[in-house]
Chain A
């Protein structure tokens, strides 16, 4: 007799229904299979239906000439360009209004949120009235309102308002003088240098404060650098800078920088609407910080600005960032209402494209892919930022 059995062995892992790991695996495979089958059925059925209905499929149309004009674009575009480029113009237009909108709504909304907590009765009431009114009126209605204000209240281009020389406001939009000349590159270089210098200075100031306790007046120094370096660049290059003024020519102004009424209406609507939500996010974030934190910070004699920056904001941001991400996503997606006021965003351009080519499914897929990419990028960035500022448990 051997005594092998007397040595307790680990029970051999067998494929048994009693093993929860095995069960989980089977369920997951099953569900994946069902989803896969569902997708396969939808895709093959769609392709089959399109084929028997003689509807063309595929993305070849992206290389064909678009043939329609687009009102405004960040890159060069003519009707002789391809559908692919037209759609790219639409995507860039969406990004343009979203990026500017997000920055402005954040700044404006934060101010409003802080104003709502102000001890000044009037300021806090005005801010809360704003928040309540703006977030309860549908955005589409607000867009129509702003567009109507711009197109109907503003005068025509021939009798444009001219508040400052070179600036014209009419129902064709806002026209401003543009800087031109060789000095422009030098000034941009100076600006870049100033930003690098400020970052370096910030690190140095922090190190020095940790070592010696002496606080460096960073804000004043930064402002100084931002002015001095570009001006230096301007002087070095021989001060050759001029303003290109918009001039009335034919039906409209030419030259200078111009913002179209469509862009302004959409941007204004998005900022005003979204900033009401941002204000609430900021307010709740600040209010989430325990009263004791304020008292403790005041007790060690921190001035108010420093108190907010060093004690309150780092704690508030942890509450603020996740809902703020949603607001950024909302603003980006809401920009698809652009076609209501004639701003050529991705939805507007793809709508025209799918109408000319009849390829509705491909068009909708492109729109979905574009928004998904933008939304996921915002989400990834905000999650990264959230991790960075999250409470570090020690």
Chain B
């Protein structure tokens, strides 16, 4: 069925109008009045719908941030849950405007898919989880193991690369549906389960006995996860890129959804520029000068989003780690708004 969907999306490339002009996506989003985001089908902390169908997660916050940039209203967005196999075709064919679905930025994806990465909202690495009773302390002891993995991801390649580089053997068990793959692992069909470490951490919380499973220390890869857009619309690309930068800058200067109104009175010239008190920064993007004020007020800064979805305020309880601000020893570095 997923194949059918992929085929249908592929077919839509046949019939897509053969026109291209600058600002195509930007204009289309403005005209329809909402942003269509491609999201994960269900990954706690990144994008997941609750029992009422309300979506939340760090990727959803980014989608809301983009909506606020465009319309000054965080509710002007819609989600299209896509699987790993559908996501690029969905973006290529125009079914979605932006892919906010913990997708790894790689050179191939930037250069051959007609897409481009617009930044990184989570620095991840691929890890591997095993059952504690195996008594394994390192992935190097996994020679000959069966490993459950989902198809169509960089995960599948990194896994093969890492085992090849270490001269170890393994048997992949490639199952499409995340639930089925997880069930197979729990049932013992595979010795190990691999995906991004953040994913392992969140998945582990959903298992019957989280403490029976251990995430091994090895990092198989670098996984810079972030939003992607189609090539050919620079203005839209910049909206997405600066939505992310605005969230990062807001955290660095201590502007939160709670104090943003007081911050309007701040004498710090950086804060004044970000909040549109001085300067005309929004104009360059064709946006309201209050773009950042609206964004921070309605969605919050990057740190707030992290806390709420992945950090102490969530069930995941992930450390900020390398996703801390650069001043705190992390990799998060918002580009200057000036």
User: Is the beta-carbon distance between B187 and A55 smaller than 8 angstroms?
Assistant: no
What are 14 A-B pairs at a CB distance below 8 A? A45-B14, A55-B114, A68-B160, A171-B188, A250-B143, A261-B189, A339-B174, A340-B176, A340-B180, A342-B173, A355-B88, A355-B152, A358-B112, A361-B10
In the A-B complex, list the 5 residue pairs whose CB atoms are closest, starting with the nearest: A355-B152, A53-B114, A358-B113, A55-B114, A79-B160
In the complex, the chain A residue whose C-beta lies closest to that of B152 is A355
A220 and B153 CA atoms in complex are apart in Å by: 57
A361 and B88 CA atoms in complex are apart in Å by: 12
A354 and B113 CA atoms in complex are apart in Å by: 11
A253 and B16 CA atoms in complex are apart in Å by: 52
Asked if B184 is at the interface (CB within 8 A of a chain A CB), the reply is yes
User: Is the beta-carbon distance between B144 and A52 smaller than 8 angstroms?
Assistant: no
User: Is the beta-carbon distance between B232 and A79 smaller than 8 angstroms?
Assistant: no
User: Is the beta-carbon distance between A71 and B174 smaller than 8 angstroms?
Assistant: yes
CB contacts (< 8 Å) of A48 on chain B: these are 18
Asked if A222 is at the interface (CB within 8 A of a chain B CB), the reply is no
Asked if A251 is at the interface (CB within 8 A of a chain B CB), the reply is yes
CB contacts (< 8 Å) of B191 on chain A: these are 251
A22: shortest Cβ distance to chain B, in Å? 36
CB contacts (< 8 Å) of B146 on chain A: these are 172, 251-252
User: Is the beta-carbon distance between A339 and B176 smaller than 8 angstroms?
Assistant: yes
CB contacts (< 8 Å) of B187 on chain A: these are 148, 151-152, 171
Which residues of chain B have a CB within 8 Å of any CB of chain A? 2-3, 6-7, 9-10, 13-16, 18, 20, 84-85, 88-89, 92, 108-109, 112-114, 142-146, 148, 151-153, 156-157, 159-161, 163-164, 170-177, 180-181, 183-184, 187-189, 191, 230-232
CB contacts (< 8 Å) of B181 on chain A: these are 342
CB contacts (< 8 Å) of A361 on chain B: these are 10, 13
B263: shortest Cβ distance to chain A, in Å? 41
Interface footprint category on A: 35 or more
Asked if A104 is at the interface (CB within 8 A of a chain B CB), the reply is no
Pick the interface stretch among A13-21, A270-278, A343-351, A374-382: A343-351
User: Is the beta-carbon distance between A348 and B151 smaller than 8 angstroms?
Assistant: yes
User: Is the beta-carbon distance between A52 and B232 smaller than 8 angstroms?
Assistant: yes
Contact of B231 among A53, A254, A340, A342 (CB under 8 A): A53
User: Is the beta-carbon distance between A352 and B151 smaller than 8 angstroms?
Assistant: yes
User: Is the beta-carbon distance between B144 and A251 smaller than 8 angstroms?
Assistant: yes
User: Is the beta-carbon distance between B144 and A356 smaller than 8 angstroms?
Assistant: no
Asked if A305 is at the interface (CB within 8 A of a chain B CB), the reply is no
CB contacts (< 8 Å) of B174 on chain A: these are 71, 339, 342, 344, 348, 352
A365 and B232 CA atoms in complex are apart in Å by: 27
User: Is the beta-carbon distance between A358 and B7 smaller than 8 angstroms?
Assistant: no
Asked if A364 is at the interface (CB within 8 A of a chain B CB), the reply is yes
User: Is the beta-carbon distance between A52 and B157 smaller than 8 angstroms?
Assistant: no
Contact of A339 among B10, B151, B171 (CB under 8 A): B151
Known: A250-B144, A251-B145. A54 touches B231 (CB 8 A): yes
User: Is the beta-carbon distance between B175 and A53 smaller than 8 angstroms?
Assistant: no
B72: shortest Cβ distance to chain A, in Å? 30
A120 and B3 CA atoms in complex are apart in Å by: 46
Contacts A55-B113, A262-B173 supplied; 10 other A-B pairs, CB < 8 Å: A56-B112, A71-B173, A152-B187, A251-B143, A261-B189, A342-B175, A342-B180, A352-B174, A355-B151, A361-B10
Between A67, A69, A339, A351, the greatest number of chain B beta carbons within 10 A of the residue's beta carbon is seen for A69
A 37-80 to B, binary, CB cutoff 8 A, 1 in contact else 0: 00000100110111011111000000000011111100000111
A22 and B223 CA atoms in complex are apart in Å by: 67
CB contacts (< 8 Å) of B157 on chain A: these are 67-68, 356
